[in-house]
Chain A
């Protein structure tokens, strides 16, 4: 497969409007040890807004604030290691166009 152009996903996320719920983290990693042992870490690729990133220690971080609630990580995590909820009513992404 040919290499794709690099994109700073933050520039895309910047176009979106969110009402971030500071009191309820709606995406969580169930067991971080599972992620450590996951070789492919596909969440780093398939998440359309880059919620899942790798920190310097090699841990996956979850930037739930950018989530567009599509549900991909809920089913495509190879170990189903995401505790997935919708944000509370009224919170999360609010499309202007959609």
Chain B
């Protein structure tokens, strides 16, 4: 790196948010530098595994003319599996129409999807520099004016290099250290504000993904696993089908791992040994294990989205909706919005607080912010209403088990047994209370 590098925009982090922001800027003709600390964009990234077509189309409109799509399988069946210790109640949806036409969701791997998107960014004119960590922000007169990286200035001068830019877009991921340095938020997140998820990619014998999950070649399953998957604790597991592998994972609030002394990989192993999943995974080989934090601080932990010279997008801002499995798409949308604000600021030649506040305004009038408001009580709800993760999945299994094996018995007795079970496990009053509380949550009250 030379002595005084200067760009019109510097983006920190080559995930979907950063790539979206950088592409938006480069396409508008701004000189755009994207710094990625990994060996390539995506090297440090891991997610459960579903991306949404619409968000990708907003960046790559000719997606479907690609020779090889950067995905695994279209998602044609999705929903929930409620696990008891030995059993499962499957609640999934699929329909003929989802099999035809362009799929609205795909399973994917980040270490493959992100490099593909990075290639598109390069084609748009983004200068992508990997293996470079941003260690600090350059601040002058209360305004962010660039970044400091962990590479020396040149052969003679071993001091960290400085890259100047009137706009810095932070897409640094869940560990939002630079956003804190920028003064966008004054505190670190707490263990109860993030979920820790672990996942394994398991290779199955040829043809077995289809056979074991009832799929055809161009079909895919994406299910969330509740109940026994998390030992009844708030959180969920997931099973997503890839081309020849499946992604199986599980996540809890980090605070629950810490307080209860649960080892994440043992929780995952417990899930792998569940009879229903063991059958699916039989003879499989783990190709990769990994872990990642999911920001679930929601509205109450939302940083300021912009300050003079700087904006924050994606996971770093906490733009995730765990209930609807949104994250990658929100990173892309917020990246585009920040990119547009950067372009507008350059047009005006003004980078103070009011210019970049356009990003904040756009995001706050979008569905992303509406959802953050709507589900502002979600985290507390999940932590306080553990019955959804513990009692109910078990109860569903027991009730259906009884109902479906009622042949050869007086049905009145069967129903009496069922209602006794419900009364014992939860009680009618609590049942109504739970229903009311869930109704309130989904009404956004």
Contact = CB atoms under 8 A, between A and B. Distances in A.
- Say whether A associates with B: yes
Contacts of B261: 40, 42, 45
B111 A97 contact: yes
A88 interface: yes
A50 B307 CA distance: 38
Interface in A16-63: 16, 19, 40, 42, 45-46, 48-50
Nearest to B267: A4
B290 interface: yes
Contacts of B150: 88-89
A7 B231 contact: no
B194 A94 contact: no
A72 B264 CA distance: 12
Contacts of A50: 263, 265
A79 to B, nearest CB: 12
Nearest to A46: B257
B198 A98 contact: no
Nearest to B191: A76
B266 A76 contact: no
Contacts of B112: 97-98
B291 A46 contact: no
Interface residues of A, number: 40
Contacts of B40: 94
Contact of B254 (A4, A16, A76, A86): A76
Contact of A7 (B47, B266, B287, B293): B266
B288 interface: yes
B270 interface: yes
B202 to A, nearest CB: 10
Contacts of A13: 289
Interface string B56-77: 0000000000000000000000
Contact of A5 (B39, B111, B198, B269): B269
A75 B254 contact: yes
A71 B257 contact: no
B37 A89 contact: yes
A22 B263 CA distance: 27
A70 B293 contact: yes
Given A4-B263, A5-B270, A45-B263, A69 B286 contact: no
Interface of B: 37-40, 42-47, 109-112, 114, 130-133, 149-151, 174-175, 188-191, 194, 196, 198, 200-201, 231, 245, 254-255, 257-267, 269-270, 273, 286-293
For the complex of A and B, 10 pairs with smallest distance between CB atoms? A90-B131, A48-B291, A98-B110, A98-B111, A4-B266, A12-B289, A46-B257, A42-B258, A71-B175, A89-B133
Given A5-B269, A12-B286, 18 more contacts: A1-B262, A4-B266, A9-B265, A45-B258, A46-B254, A46-B262, A48-B198, A69-B175, A71-B175, A75-B189, A86-B37, A88-B133, A89-B130, A89-B131, A97-B110, A97-B287, A98-B42, A98-B47
12 contacts: A2-B231, A7-B265, A9-B263, A15-B286, A15-B289, A46-B258, A46-B264, A69-B175, A75-B189, A89-B133, A94-B111, A98-B112
